[in-house]
Chain A
Amino acid sequence: MSRYEVNSLLYRLKKDRTFRARFNADPKGALDGLDLTDAERAAFLARDMRRINALGGYLHLVMSVPGMAAHVTHAEPE
């Protein structure tokens, strides 16, 4: 697991509109050359934010990447 690589990629997806558009158009190509593990790469390609979080993705980034943000609805306490 490369915590830095995962989070810096999330940060670019959140802040860099051009990179985000490239990722949306060609996700595999956008990830080429990045130092990700197979599991990390697969999670990004699947846009699986919960998995990315489990792999060390910083929660506030996971929650706020435009178009990819993951949200979970919780029931009210009784």
Chain B
Amino acid sequence: MGKIVFAAAMSHVLDPDYYQAACGLSGRRKVEACMAEIEKLGDSFLARRPDALIVVADDHLNAFSFNAVPAMCVRIGRYVTRMTQDEAEAFDKVLDGMPERYALHEELANRILEDGVGAGFDLALSWEAPIDHAFLSPVMTMHGTRSVTPLVPIWINCFVAPQPTPGRCFALGRHISRVVAKSPWDVGIIATGGLSHFPELLLPRVGESDVVFDRKLLRWLTEGEHEPLQSLTPGELHKAGEHEFLNWMVLIGAVTPARADVRYFGELGRINLAAVEWRVG
């Protein structure tokens, strides 16, 4: 019988140069502190000798285009490549030094997809979509120079309205939990993005993350209070700059009722950085 042996959520723009340019030297120091905690999470994850790592993250119109924007999508196949971008800017650029190809855990991805569709989740699938910084910055920070665990990338549409509801994301997490429990594998799961931020140009509210909302979320997570999370509305998440918390909701559904420990929380004015681990395994 398989189990979820590790669960963590974390910010996914992990680039000290970017934060130094945007937020000054203390921006660099804070993201480096956050990355140091994510590296420790990677040590903890790999010590459990996992068979697979599910990564729940959002696309930034890198993998998908206006041709189609899936609400929830499972990447299947044997391998996934990193997104490439000519003359990359900002956080696209951090991908440049990373390996080009990553193994997938094909069978786990197929079970999540096929059993999910069978259970009423109309999941999209992709054989070809590449993964961007939302997946690879956390994964590579966790693994460092070690071999990367076979991945199961899952995209949640966090930014292009209409997004899936927090409750539906939680339900997908419950489905993932059931699939893992029926499998023979020890599985880690991470959710990436956040916490509160209004990416710099979003009007009318430039910058100014919602610290109060973040602290409320973190308190619920540490206390294992998952009912109020499921009642959050897309409008509340949008207003608080918590769009990417939808990724976290999938993870929370997968590990509920586990409580979380906050490994890092740092305010940068424009975004609050976080690294959180759940007590599983």
A residues in contact (CB < 8 Å) with B: 4, 7-8, 11, 14-15, 17, 49-50, 53-54, 58-67, 69-77
Contact = CB atoms under 8 A, between A and B. Distances in A.
Contacts of B60: 60, 64
A4 B160 CA distance: 12
14 contacts: A8-B66, A53-B201, A53-B202, A54-B203, A58-B160, A59-B199, A61-B61, A64-B89, A64-B90, A69-B90, A71-B200, A73-B21, A73-B22, A74-B200
B219 interface: no
B88 A60 contact: no
Contacts of A61: 61
> Chain B interface: which size bin?
20 to 34
Contacts of B160: 58
Contact of A11 (B61, B89, B90, B270): B61
Contact of A58 (B90, B91, B159): B159
Contacts of A11: 61, 65-66
B164 interface: no
Contacts of A49: 201
Interface string B250-267: 000000000000000001
A70 B199 CA distance: 11
Interface of B: 21-24, 26-27, 60-61, 65-66, 85-92, 159-160, 199-203, 206-207, 267-270
A53 B200 CA distance: 10
A65 B89 contact: yes
A63 B199 contact: yes
A76 B66 contact: no
A74 B159 contact: no
A73 B89 contact: no
Contact of B23 (A54, A60, A74): A74
B87 A67 contact: yes
Contacts of B65: 11, 15
Contacts of A65: 89
B120 to A, nearest CB: 30
Contact of A66 (B89, B91, B201): B89
A28 B207 CA distance: 32
Nearest to B211: A77
Nearest to A16: B86
A71 B22 CA distance: 8
B4 to A, nearest CB: 30
A69 B206 CA distance: 16
A75 B201 contact: no
A74 B202 contact: no
A59 B201 contact: yes
Contacts of B200: 59, 63, 70-72, 74
Task: Among A65, A67, A76, find the residue whose CB has the most chain B CB atoms closer than 10 A.
Answer: A76
A76 B27 contact: yes
Contacts of B91: 64
Contacts of A58: 61, 159-160
A53 B203 contact: yes
Contacts of B61: 11, 14, 58, 60-61
Contacts of B88: 64, 66
